[in-house]
Structure 1
Amino acid sequence: MSKPLRRGVSITGIEEFTNIKLGDPVRDAAGMLGVKEALKHGFKEMGVLRSMGALLKMNQKDGFDCPSCAWPDPENRSPVAEYCENGAKALADEATTAKADKNLFKKWSVAELSQLSDYELNKFGRLTEPLVLKPGSNHYEPISWQGAYDLIAQHLKELNAPDEAIFYTSGRSSNEAAFLYGTFARALGTNNLPDCSNMCHESSGVALGETLGIGKGSTVLEDLYEAEVILIAGQNPGTNHPRMMSALEKCKNNGGKVISINPLEESGLVNFKNPQHLSGTIGSGVQMADLHLPVKINQDIPLMKLILKKLATLDSIDHQVFDHAFIEKYTSGYQSFMNDLAQYDEEDLLERCGVSEASINKAVAMLRKSKKIIVCWAMGLTQHKNGVENIREFVNLLLLKGALGKPGAGTCPVRGHSNVQGDRSVGIQHFVDEAMNERIRKHMAFEPPAHKGWDVVESIQAMHEGKAKAFFCLGGNFLMAASDTQYTAEAIEQCELTVQISTKLNRTHLVTGKTALILPTLGRSEKDMNGDTKRYFTVENSMGKVSQSKGILKPATGNLRSEPQIIAEMANTFFDNHPLDWKRLGEDYDLIREYIDKVAKGFEDTSKRSEGHGFYLPNNVRNLDFSMLPEGKAQLTVNKLPEHTLASDEFMLMTMRSHDQFNTTIYGLDDRYRGVYNERRVVFINKEDMKDLGLQKLDIVNLNSTYDGIVRTARKFLIVPYNIPKGNIAAYFPETNVLVPYNHFAERSQTPISKSVKVRIEKIAAAEQRLIDSSELN
C-alpha cells in the first residue's frame, strides 16, 4: 500500500494530456530540420549571441565538453559545428537565462511545485543560491553557503555510523569533482557510493569484466570507420547519441555494413542527413542500416544463438568462418560453448526472437567472411534480468570471429552521460578495490573503509528500512532516474537530511528528507574562476579518452560554486583534523589531478596529457592481454535463454526516451522521429494487439505491473499504433518508472529491469473518457 508523502508532494504531477497530435514517423535523422531545432532551442533559452558563442566552443579542444552524451570527438573537428541537435538542446538547457530564484520558492510551496510536470519544473531555469527546506516547512528559503555547510556537518556528526550516509553521483560530474566526492565519502568511513552506472551500464561492466578483463569497451572512434560490419543492438543513436551517425556514415562510405537489432526501427538507423555535407542538406542522405532485425523485447540471446548456430554450421564445412587461430591462442571455453550451442533447436530460437529467417540469413551472410566486427549497445541490452548474459552472448560472437585487438573491431558500449565512465575510473564505486585502498593509505594518509558499500538498489532499500539518515546527490534527478518511483520516494523521505548539488530544479528537490538542502553549482559551459585564474576540468569519453573541458560563459549568477569547491568546503567544515588540505583542494584542481594520478588506475601526468587531443587510459583488450582472467585467456561463456512467463493478458513493456529528452531532463513534448507531438503520456502498441484488445487509436488506458503480489499503476496513457513486435509495447520514462519493481534487477549487476517489465493494459471506462476534453484528441 502506497504511503502519502510528506508535505503532500506528488511524484507524478497532474496527469493531464497536453493536446496530442500524431503524424507519420520522420524517416530522416538530423538534416536541416535538426539544425533548425537546435538553433531554435538555443536562441529561445540563451539568446542569439550567447547561443552562437557557446556552440562554437562546445567539443572544441580549447572549449568545453558537451553536457549531453559521452560520444568521443574526432581528431579533425568541424570548427563551427562539432555538436548535434541534442547536444545543442543540452547546452541551451544548462545555459538558459531563466532563473529559479528565491522569489519562486517564496511563491510556490514544494507541494504546489510537485503538481507540475517534469518539463515544467525544468523550465523555471537555473538555481541561483543555496536553499534550505526546514522540518515542518513547506517552502525553501535562502541559506548562506557556510550555514549550509554547518548544517551538513551537524547532521553527519549525529550519525551513529558512517554507513548511515549515502553519496550518489550522476554522470555529469567532472573527474575532479567525482574523485573529491569519493574521497570525502571514504574519509568519512563509507563506500556507499551508488552512481548512475548502477542503473544503466553496470551490466556492461560486469559482463566485460568477466569475459575480457575490463569493464569498458575496446574500440576507439577510428575503428568504426574501418569496420566491415557494425551491429547496433538495443540502441537508438539518432536520438540518444546523434554524433555517432557521422561515424556510421564514414563506415558506410568505406564499404562497411550496419545491422540494427531493436524492437523498433528507429529513424536514425533508417536514413541520415549529415548537415555538414551538401548531400545532407539538399540530397537524399545516407541509408544507415543495411538490415534491421526487429527482435522481440529481451530475446537477443535466442537471436544471437541462432546466428551463431548458422555460422557454426558454415564453419564446419570450410573451417574458415571462425578464427580458430585466435580462439586457440586467446580464448578459453570453446568446447563447452559449442556443446551448449548444439543443444538448441533452430525453430524454437526463431520463434522466440520473432525475426524472420530470411533476415537472419542475411545477417549471417554479412558476418560470415567479416573479420572486422564491432558490437555497439546501450540500455536495450543491459536493463533486463539477464542483462549481463545478453552482453556476454555478443562478446561470444566477437571472440569466435577474432574481432578484438585490431583496427575496425571490438566492443563498444555507448555510455549515456558525458562523464559517467570517468566517474568510475577515478573511484566512484561501491565495491572495495584493495589496490586502490593501499594507494589511498600511501598518498592521502588516511584509512579508507575496507567493507563493501551500497549500490543504487541497496541504497534505496536501506533508506526505506531506515538504515540511512543522510543522502547526498552530486547532480542528477535520483527520484525520477530510479525504478519503482513510489517506493523510492518513500525511501528518500526516511532520511533526516537530503543534499542536492544541482544546476536546475527537479522532482528530487521536492521529495526530500526531513531537512533538505539545494546547493547550486556551475554548469559545464560556465567559466570557473579562482580569483584571476581560470580553472578547467577533465572528463573521460565513452571510449576511454581523457581530455580537458573549459567553460567560457559568464555564470548564471555570482553566487554559484563549482562542484569541487562545494565538496571541499563541506569536508573542510566537517573534519576537525584531517591529513588532507581540503580548502586547497577546492581551490587548486591541479592538486586534485596530482592525487588522481597517484590513486586512480591508469592516470599519469593528467594536467599535461589532457591538453589538446587528450590521452587514452590503458585498455588490456586493445593489447590482447587477458592475463588477469582464468588461464590468462578471454572467456567464451554459456548463457541461458531468457525466461519470461507472461500471463495471457500481459505485455512486455520497454521504457525509452523521446527525442526531446536526455535521461530524465525533458526539453520539450515532441518525439518527431516517432511522429508524436505535444504529448508524452503515450503507449506504442502493435495494431494487431490493439484489435485483439478492442482498442482504438488514442484510447485512454492505465498500465499495471504485478510483481510479488504488488500491483503498480501508471495512469492515463494514450494508445498509439506503431510498428513494434506483437506482444510488446513501449512508453517513455520517467513516467513509467513507477511500474519497474525495485527488487527485480539483472543478476550480478543489479541493474533494474526497465526494458522488460510485464504489464497489463487496462482500458479506462467510456464514461471516464468522456470527461477528457475532446479537443485534446486531435
Structure 2
Amino acid sequence: MQRSDFEGRPGDDLGRGAPGVAARGRGPNRPGGFSQVDDVGPSAGWGAARSVTRVIARTGEPVRGPLAITKMNHENGGFDCPGCAWPDDRKGLHLDICENGIKHVTWEMTRKKTGREFFAAHTVTELLDWPDYALEEQGRLIEPMAYDEATDMYVPISWPDAFALVGQTLRGLDSPDQAAFYTSGRLNNEATFLYQLWVREFGTNNLPDCSNMCHEASGRALQAALGTGKGTCDINDWDAADLLIVMGVNAASNAPRMLTTLAKAHRRGAQIIHINPLIEAAARRTIVPHEFAAMATFRSTPTGSRNVQVVVGGDLALLRGVAKAILERAEKDPAVLDVDFIERHTSGFTSYRDLVRAADWSELVRQSGVSESEIREVAACYMAVDRTIISWCLGVTQQDHGVDTVHEILNLLLLRGNIGREGAGPSPVRGHSNVQGNRTCGIDHRPPSDFLDALDEVCGISAPREHGLDTIGTIKAMLDERVKVFVAMGGNFVLAAPDTDATSAALRNTELTVQVSTKLNRSHLVHGRKALILPCLGRTEKDTQATGEQGVSVEDAMSEVHLSYGMRKPPSEMLRSECSIVAGMAQATLPDSKTPWVWYVEDYDRIRDTMARVLPGFEDFNRRVREARGFRITQPAREREFHTESGRAEFHSSELPDVMPPQGMLVLSTMRSHDQWNTTVYSDDDRYRGVKNLRTLLFMNRKDMDERGLAEFDLIDITSHARDGSTRSVYGYRVIAYGISPGSVAGYMPELNILCGLDDYSRQSDQPLMKHQLVTVTRSPGR
C-alpha cells in the first residue's frame, strides 16, 4: 500500500512525507484551524470582489493589477485572459472578466522575483519540503537555471548554453522517440506551431498534452460522429437557445464568465438544466460583476431552472433514459423526432433506436441514480423546445466510458435535429485558455495524415507517421527508460498527472527535464539527472522582437481566434518569449535545418503566413486575426457537412456500462476548489462549497457517512482500488457532509491524484480516471 505525501492533520506544519510531492500544510497567510460555512450565497458578486481584493493586495499590485483588469479580453490592444477558454463577449464588453481570471493575471504580475539569489540559498531537497503555495509565492522566474548535482542546487546558465544542452542531449539519443514534448493549455498558437514543427522535424510524434487528461474523450467522439473534434456552437448560439443542458461543469470555478451567459439565458426565459453529482453554487444564482446596479443592490439572477443529481458515472444512463422517453413518445407522435434530418443527414439510427427501446427502465434508474419520473421530466423539457445546446466538461470525460457518454450526448441532439442550426448543438467547455488552439495547431500524438502531408509540403520536412505517446504512455515510457528526455511547455506536470508517486519516479528516471515556466512549481524539483528551468514571458507582458512588438493568437472553446498583446514591461530582460525559446531549442537540436527559426521569431506574421498554408480555416490568417474580435474557424459540421466515412452524422450504439461500485465501496471524483486554478491554489478556502482553511477533505452524502459510523469532521483514511489490484491511500482527511449523490464522494486535486494508478485509464480515450475511482473510506485509527 502506498503512503500518500499528503498525509497529516489539516493545518499542521509541513512534514516531509514520502519521496515525490511535498504535503500542503500551513504556509504564508494560512492560519490554523478550519470550518464550514452553511450559507455560501450566490456565485460571483461581492464574494468574488472581496476574494479578488485579497489576491491583489497579497501580490502587491494595488495599481497595476486593477489597470490590467481593464485590458483583459479587450479587442483594442488588450490581452487574452490566460485562464479559461470561455469566448470573449462579441459586442466588445469592456469588463468581460471574472474572479479567477483576475487572480490569474495578478498572480502573474507579482513584483516578487525568483532568481539566482533564491536558488543559491536553497537546495532542491530543502525546497521539496515547501508547500506548493509557498513555491509559487516566491514570484516570477527571471533567468534560466540549470541543476547542479554536486550541490543539489539550481545555478544560472546562459541561454546559448541552455539551448546547447538541450540540443546535445537530444542529438545523443538512439532515437527521437526517446524524447517526449509536453504542452499545457497556455501555449499560444504561434509557439504551438513552431513547437510541433521542431518536434516533427526532429522525428517523433511524442506530443503529450493536457487534453490527454481532460477532453480527449470529447474529441474522439465528436470526430467519429460529426467529422470534427470540436463543438459546433458559438456564443451567439448560447444567446439563442431555448434549453441549455450543462453536464459535469462547475461554471463558477471552471468557466466563470459562463455565469453571465446563464443569467442572460434565464432572464429571456430559456430553461437551464444542470446535471452533476453535486449541486454547485453556479447552478443556483449569480450576481454579474459588470452589472453595477445588481452589485449595488445585491440582486442576484438564477443560473438554473433544474438540478439533476446523477451518481458519478451515471450520465450515460440518464441520457439513454431521456432518449427512451422520447422514442416512446414518438410511437404516438412522430413529430417529436426530426425525421427529415435523421433520414437526410444521419446513419445508424435504426440500430440505436432498437438498443434504446430494449433498455430496461429499472436498470437506467439504478445506473443513473435518478428516478424514472425525473428522467421523463428532463425528456419533456427537451421535447417542448425547438433549440437545445448540450454542454459538458470533465465530469463527463474523465470516466471509463467517457467517449460513449459524449456519443450519447450527440445521439440525443441528433434525434431532434439539434445540430447545424442556430441555438443548438454540442458545446464542450474547455478548461485552459488555448488548449483547443494547441490541438488545432498541431499538438497531437495521433496526427491526421492530411495535416502531416500539408506540413511536409509547406515546411519542407518529412514528418513521422507513426503515432506517438500520450500522457499516460509517456509516464510509463519514462519509468521503463524508453523516454530519456522530457520537455514541458508550461504546466505543472507532476501535480497534474495521475499517480503522483509513479509520475515523480518517472521524471527522476530521465537524463534531462526541461521546464518552460513563469513561476517556480513542484515539477522543477522533481526532475531528471540534468534539468533546466527556462523562464518565459507571461501573456500580460510585451513581447518585443526585431521588427517590434508582437501579438500572439489563441483559440477559445468555440473556435474563435483573436490576437493578444501584452501591456506591461517584463520583470526581467532575461525573459524570452515562448516562440523564441522554442526556436532556440530547435536550432540547437537541428543545426542543419532549413527551417528559418530566427526569421520566424523576428516577426510572428511570418509564422502566421506559414500556418495559413498548412492549417484548414486559417487562410488569410494575418488579415483576419486583426479584424475586430478576430475570426471563427470554419466548422463544416455546423453547415451539416459531416466529414465522416459515410458523409453523415453517426448515431453510436454502445452498451450501458455498470457504474455501481462493489459492496462497501464508493466512487471518487476529484475536482478543484473554488480558490484554485488547475494546480495553482490561491488559498485553502472553497467559498462556494462553504469550506474555510481546509483542503484535505472528502465530501460525502450523509447516508454514506451514517453507514460507516462517521460524524462531520471525523478523521478518515481513503484507499483507492486499482484495476491491477494495487491500492493507494491517503490518511487523516476530514469528512464533510454535503449534497452529493449517495455512493459518490468528491475531493480536491492535485492532492488526491495520487489515488489514481497509471493503469486506471479509459480504454476508450486513454484518459486517466480522475473522476471514477473506486475507494473505501474508513475512520482513521487512533484519531
Structure 1 and Structure 2 fold alike (TM over 0.5): yes
Distance 1:193 1:136 in 2: 32
Query: 1:568-612, CA deviations, whole angstroms, 9 ceiling, x for partnerless residues?
Result: 011122222111111222222111111111122221122221112
Preserved contact between residue 670 and residue 749 of structure 2 (Cα < 8 Å): yes
Residue 382 (structure 1) aligned with residue 397 (structure 2): yes
- Name the structure 1 match of 2:149: 135
Residue 32 (structure 1) aligned with residue 41 (structure 2): no
Identity percentage of aligned residues: 38
C-alpha displacement of 1:15:
5.5
Query: 1:10-65, CA deviations, whole angstroms, 9 ceiling, x for partnerless residues?
Result: 43323647421211151301112212322331243142211122111010012100
C-alpha displacement of 1:652:
0.3
Preserved contact between residue 260 and residue 289 of structure 1 (Cα < 8 Å): yes
One of 60, 72, 76 as aligned partner of 2:74: 60
C-alpha displacement of 1:649:
2.0
C-alpha displacement of 1:706:
1.9
- Name the structure 2 match of 1:12: 21
Preserved contact between residue 126 and residue 503 of structure 1 (Cα < 8 Å): yes
- Name the structure 2 match of 1:517: 532
Q: Which amino acid aligns with 2:407?
A: R
Residue 398 (structure 1) aligned with residue 407 (structure 2): no
Residue 113 (structure 1) aligned with residue 124 (structure 2): no
Residue 533 (structure 1) aligned with residue 543 (structure 2): no
- Name the structure 2 match of 1:772: none
Distance 1:700 1:485 in 2: 23
Residue 277 of structure 2 aligns to a residue whose secondary structure is coil
Residue 186 (structure 1) aligned with residue 217 (structure 2): no
Distance 1:219 1:42 in 2: 35
Query: 1:199-253, CA deviations, whole angstroms, 9 ceiling, x for partnerless residues?
Result: 1001000010111110100000011111111000011111110101111122222
Distance 1:136 1:299 in 2: 53
Number of aligned residue pairs:
764
Query: 1:375-419, CA deviations, whole angstroms, 9 ceiling, x for partnerless residues?
Result: 010000000110000111011110001111111101100100000
Query: 1:422-465, CA deviations, whole angstroms, 9 ceiling, x for partnerless residues?
Result: 01111111113222222222221121112111111111111111
Q: What runs of 5+ residues in structure 2 fail to find an aligned partner?
A: 6-15, 27-31
Out of 276-285 and 509-518, give the one that drifted further. 276-285
- Name the structure 2 match of 1:751: 767
One of 718, 728, 732 as aligned partner of 1:703: 718
Distance 1:515 1:275 in 2: 47
One of 203, 228, 231 as aligned partner of 1:214: 228
One of 566, 569, 580 as aligned partner of 1:565: 580
Q: How does 1:160-559 map to 2 (within 5 A)?
A: 160-277=174-291, 278-531=293-546, 533-559=548-574
Q: Which amino acid aligns with 2:309?
A: P
Residue 336 of structure 1 aligns to a residue whose secondary structure is helix
Residue 762 of structure 1 aligns to a residue whose secondary structure is strand
Residue 98 (structure 1) aligned with residue 112 (structure 2): yes
Distance 1:146 1:691 in 2: 62
Residue 576 (structure 1) aligned with residue 601 (structure 2): no
C-alpha displacement of 1:483:
0.8
Distance 1:350 1:644 in 2: 12
Q: Which amino acid aligns with 1:688?
A: K
Residue 226 of structure 1 aligns to a residue whose secondary structure is coil
Residue 209 of structure 1 aligns to a residue whose secondary structure is helix
Out of 652-661 and 127-136, give the one that drifted further. 127-136
Query: 1:358-379, CA deviations, whole angstroms, 9 ceiling, x for partnerless residues?
Result: 4323212211122200001000
Change (3 A) 1:549 1:488: same
Distance 2:725 2:382 in 1: 45
Distance 2:673 2:91 in 1: 31
Distance 1:352 1:451 in 2: 39
Distance 2:323 2:639 in 1: 26
Distance 2:453 2:189 in 1: 20
Change (3 A) 1:464 1:440: same
Query: 1:539-587, CA deviations, whole angstroms, 9 ceiling, x for partnerless residues?
Result: 0010001100000011121110000001101112222211111122222
Change (3 A) 1:284 1:361: farther
C-alpha displacement of 1:716:
2.4
Distance 1:661 1:16 in 2: 16
Preserved contact between residue 168 and residue 588 of structure 2 (Cα < 8 Å): no
Q: Which amino acid aligns with 2:235?
A: L
- Name the structure 2 match of 1:739: 755
Distance 2:196 2:547 in 1: 28
Preserved contact between residue 25 and residue 131 of structure 2 (Cα < 8 Å): no
C-alpha displacement of 1:2:
6.4
Q: How does 1:671-710 map to 2 (within 5 A)?
A: 671-707=686-722, 708-710=724-726
- Name the structure 2 match of 1:775: none
- Name the structure 2 match of 1:617: 633
Distance 2:414 2:44 in 1: 34
Aligned Cα root-mean-square deviation (Å): 1.7
Preserved contact between residue 597 and residue 604 of structure 1 (Cα < 8 Å): yes
Q: What runs of 5+ residues in structure 1 fail to find an aligned partner?
A: 770-778
Residue 332 of structure 2 aligns to a residue whose secondary structure is helix
Distance 1:571 1:307 in 2: 52
C-alpha displacement of 1:9:
7.8
Q: Which amino acid aligns with 1:590?
A: D
Preserved contact between residue 61 and residue 109 of structure 2 (Cα < 8 Å): no
- Name the structure 1 match of 2:679: 664
Q: TM-score, normalised by structure 2?
A: 0.95
Query: 1:705-735, CA deviations, whole angstroms, 9 ceiling, x for partnerless residues?
Result: 1221211112321111111111111000000
Q: Which amino acid aligns with 2:238?
A: L
Q: Which amino acid aligns with 2:193?
A: F
Residue 736 of structure 1 aligns to a residue whose secondary structure is helix
Change (3 A) 1:637 1:25: farther
Residue 48 of structure 1 aligns to a residue whose secondary structure is coil
Distance 1:177 1:332 in 2: 39
Residue 336 of structure 2 aligns to a residue whose secondary structure is coil
Query: 1:527-550, CA deviations, whole angstroms, 9 ceiling, x for partnerless residues?
Result: 111257111100001000110000
Preserved contact between residue 211 and residue 635 of structure 1 (Cα < 8 Å): yes
Residue 630 of structure 1 aligns to a residue whose secondary structure is coil
Q: Which amino acid aligns with 1:580?
A: T
Distance 2:4 2:335 in 1: 64
Q: Which amino acid aligns with 1:744?
A: D
Change (3 A) 1:650 1:458: same
One of 643, 655, 660 as aligned partner of 2:670: 655
Distance 2:630 2:547 in 1: 25
C-alpha displacement of 1:134:
2.7
Residue 629 of structure 2 aligns to a residue whose secondary structure is coil
- Name the structure 2 match of 1:49: 63
**Structure 1 residue ranges, 4+ long, deviating more than 6 angstroms after superposition:** 1-5
- Name the structure 1 match of 2:737: 721
Change (3 A) 1:749 1:642: same
Distance 1:356 1:475 in 2: 44
Change (3 A) 1:761 1:12: farther
